[in-house]
Amino acid sequence: MPSITEQVGRVIGGRFRLLAPIGSGASSQVFAAVDTRLQRRVAVKVLHPSLANDHAFLRRFRAEARLAASLDHPHVMRVFDWGEEEAGPFLVLELLTGGSLRALLDKGAKLSHAQTAALGSEAAAGLAYAHRRGIIHRDIKPGNLLFDEDGHVRIADFGVARAIAQASLTEPLGVMFGTARYASPEQAKGTPLDDRTDVYSLALVLYEALTGQVPFSAETVSGTLMARIDRTIPPARELGPLAPILAAAAIPEPLARLDAAGLADELSQLERQLPQRAPLPLVHADLGPGASMWADRDATDLDPGHVLAGHTAVLQAVDLERADAPMPHDELVDDLTVMGLAAAEAVPAVDGELTPMSAQVATPPARHVPAAEGHAEDSESPGGVVGSGDHRGLRPQRRRRGRLIAAVALVIALLAGGAVAAFLQLRVTGDLVPSVDHQPVGMARAMLQTAGLKFRIGAKKYDGHVPSGDVLSQSLPAGRRVKAGTVVIVIESLGPAPVAVPDVKGLPQLLARRLIAVAHLRAIPELVYSETVHPGHVISESPLPSSKRVPRGSPVILYISRGPHPRIVPPLQGVPLQTAEKDLAKIGLVGKQAPNGQYSTTVPAGDVVAQDPAARLSVKRGTTVLLTVSLGKPYVKVPPLFGLSVKKAESALSAAGLAYQLVGVGGQHGFVYATSPSSGQSVREGTTVVLYIV
């Protein structure tokens, strides 16, 4: 691979000029670059040149690059472009300058609970987004968690990890196992992966961020991989409130594990309960020479010696469940080549066993046995005497023995000839048994009938690995030549055995989902209101635990309590205080009188004049409604009216909110000489004042 300094200044893809190195790894080099067409700063990841000649890798790389470029999420690194050159395939990515989690941990930093919860919830949200689109990362590690300037995380290398993993033969020795400490148990076993493998790896990354240590790490690759099979992560005091969440995310059984969306939800809820987090101590990018913002290195990088030392144990860990079963030839060769070892060329023998091609069966050369001393080789003489010396007395015995040997030899020859003829006849006219294992039953029937053989289903059995309706096994091994019309009996798979639905009623949602997953079922939470069940706990489930067993993978709907139904606050203005309090209690709300009353010209004293929350608002059960009680009409003072004309007195009383009544001989044209109540006295608004007129 060209050195980093040789790459600087080069334009790749006709538009991306490499400006400065910002990281390197065994499989790639990363550069800060400029898009000369759009004039924007980008990052360019150039993969190893050997991959450019791997056509199978290039096909995978193109497909994975298209998928990665389709991802658009705030916590997934964006892929702007991709291409291929002689120097190697490349990806054009967004340029992030906040460094990586690997660089942060290499400085000796440990994250707080709040920082880890925030980081984990963002990364899990990015994984959940990709998983919903059918994309699995397969290589989650601190070096692939990058930060922007504000400390928000982005997941890098979506798609590339899978393509490189499948091209491991062209990779430098040891790259395949460079991040073994973050691999899931199913990766260690070599079993098929689903999206929960990323969740397990993320859990180990968060464990390291909190404690500074990665659980299960060993000196060799095999030791690292074997250490986590069927083991839960060890407890640590530093985990604090994250301990149960990380334990649920790192359960060895994938189906029992939290998925990415569930992990994001759990961490997000915890983050809201924790004190506000301090900013991350980011290792900001230095785009000068020697910068290592994206150093694709983990503490798990192993040298070739470690890899070779671990090959034997890793081969043993490939499939622990079938360790005693003979491994098919193709699988054996594939597993050996994936481990970087050469597999001997092998061909199946007639009996189905593997026979190395190098083991040639040769007929030993004929040996010349010289005649014994004193005996000449037989020659026929005119007198009928054979050899020399007097052997006439032995002739009849030798002749009888010769005839007997000849007869036996003839019988053996006839028997052998018949057997050979029968064998040759079978070889010439017999039919080869096709392989119908793992084929649908209908397809298996057609394949056997096409080969001139008869098909029969012998039994049906449950199997957790072969789908229902497929052939589980066949009575005659594939490749054997048999007579036309031979019956081949197959065992049909019924799929995984049905399982019982566990009873999770009343349990917290997280624990209930875990138990459902352990039972090999899929939990589907549905939030509903409940007046009796605590929020976040299971109200009921469907199907019910008492139901008959259900197929593996079946959905189980968990009805999760959202708490009580919301209450609508009733209108209470003008209602007596005690009546209002009783009405609120009937619907689960609490009425409380406000400390201060309020005057009102419309609401009688002692009735509710105002309320908070207002009428017709939706509130939670148990909410307190503050009730303001009317003090009745406000008090005003009788204005001074002595000596005023009736007209002016009426005007003054109206302005004060008081009514009046005329008494006296003066009538409308008289003057006020007295009032009742008297001037300056406080009275309720609306009170009638008597005017005495002269």
Catalytic residue positions?
139
Interatomic CA distance for residues 578 and 614, integer angstroms: 18
Q: Is the dihedral of CA 470, 473, 475, 481 positive or negative?
A: positive
CA angle 257, 261, 263 (to 5 degrees): 55
**14: Cβ contacts below 8 Å, ≥ 6 apart:** none
294, 43 Cβ separation under 8 angstroms? yes
CB contact at 8 A, 464 and 496: yes
Pull the structure tokens for residue 566: 């919301």
- Residue closest to 516 by CA, chosen among 556, 573, 477, 569: 556
CB-based contact 675:690 (threshold 8 Å):
yes
| Tokens, residue 539 | 């109200």
Q: What is the DSSP letter of 256?
A: G
Contact 298, 181 (CB under 8 A): yes
3-class secondary-structure state, position 619: strand
Cα separation, 305 vs 211, in Å, equals 29
Report the helix count and the strand count for the chain, using DSSP H and E: 18, 29
Q: How many Cβ atoms are within 10 Å of 437's Cβ, its own excluded?
A: 17
Burial track 382-398 (b if 16+ CB lie within 10 A, e otherwise)? eeeeeeeeeeeeeeeee
Q: By three-state DSSP, how is residue 490 classified? A: strand
486 SS3 class: coil
- How many other CB atoms are found less than 10 A from the CB of residue 162? 21
d(CA 9, CA 552): 57
Question: What is the per-residue DSSP string for 496-541?
Answer: SPPBPPP--TTSBHHHHHHHHHHTT-EEEEEEE--SSSPTTBEEEE
Q: 527 φ, ψ to 5°?
A: -85, 130
SS3 of residue 419 by DSSP: helix
Q: Using alpha carbons only, give the angle 451, 454, 456 rounded to the nearest 5 degrees.
A: 130
- The answer to whether 656 and 649 have CB atoms below 8 angstroms apart is no
* Closest of 301, 281, 245, 312 to residue 151, by C-alpha: 281
How many Å apart are CA 245 and CA 350, to the nearest integer? 55
C-alpha angle 340-215-259 in degrees, rounded to nearest 5:
85
Q: What is the dihedral of CA 184, 188, 190, 192, to 10 degrees?
A: -10
Which backbone phi and psi does 392 adopt, to 5 degrees? -65, -30
Q: Using CA atoms, how far apart are residues 444 and 492, in angstroms rounded to an integer? A: 10
